[in-house]
Structure 1
Amino acid sequence: MEPEQPWHAAFPAPKTTQPASLTREEVLDKLRAGGIGREFILVDVRRNDYEGGAVRGAINLPAQTLFPTIPALYQLFKSAGIRHVIWYCGSSLGRGTRAAGWFNDHIQEKGDKEMQSVILYGGIKGWATAGQDFVDFMDGYVPEHWT
């Protein structure tokens, strides 16, 4: 019996393996400035572990189904004037990094010098456990999940 392949084995590996990142403090500053949906967007790529809350205003696009939608997402984000696409998962070390890499590869293929694809350093775990300032910028926060 063959071992089960990881979900991402069905797609090409991203060329960008270490995308740029923003700290939670930088993202919080962006949220406080009110630019979400106008100059940046947050994308939560969790699927089965999408629980405990999300960064306020983030959209959920599970990583397992993301790759085929990247061209359409790029066009949508570009049309909306989005300059920063900020990806995260639980820790932003797996799915978030892969998603940001794939999206960055697409941005580079398009020759786009204005849009950036980055990860939220530390992911949702880092965000939800960083104190009240961060919790105040969460939708559906469940404190018990993070203890």
Structure 2
Amino acid sequence: MPQEGWEPPDGSWASSAARRRNMQAIKSRDTKPERLIRRLVHSQGLRYRVAAKPLPALRRTADMVFRPSKVAVFVDGCYWHGCPEHYVQPKTNPGYWSDKVARNVARDRDTDQRLNEAGWTVLRFWEHESPDACALEITATVINRRLGRS
């Protein structure tokens, strides 16, 4: 817990101690949508790596990685990845957060391109999508890749 009179360091994204605690508490992996989708995919008999790098040289991790099939799955949060349906610009420090989300979106597109160029299939889902529908698409894609049907 910060000391009384705590101030964020210069250039810090935290506008207050409370904001800093809230932001640090946000999970980057094992979110509820991820866990639901993983459970459904696992129940179909598919095995995968969790929070793994599809390409070791690329400093990006996918939520689920099916290495032999070369399928990388990302379950993107609506706020952090700029969902066209649910993203709402914040009222506090909007310039910083809008730029942050724009950088995330650009990084997502770059990740997709690099993985595609390396022969991977990239599946991206929004956190609000039906876990059942996501799991069905993942299962079908992995099975088709295993059978040589892209």
Which band: TM-score by shorter chain?
Answer: 0.3 to 0.5
TM-score (norm 1): 0.33
Question: Which one has a bigger Cα radius of gyration?
Answer: 2
TM-score (norm 2): 0.32
> Could you say which structure has the greater relative contact order, defined with CA pairs below 8 angstroms and 6 or more residues apart?
1
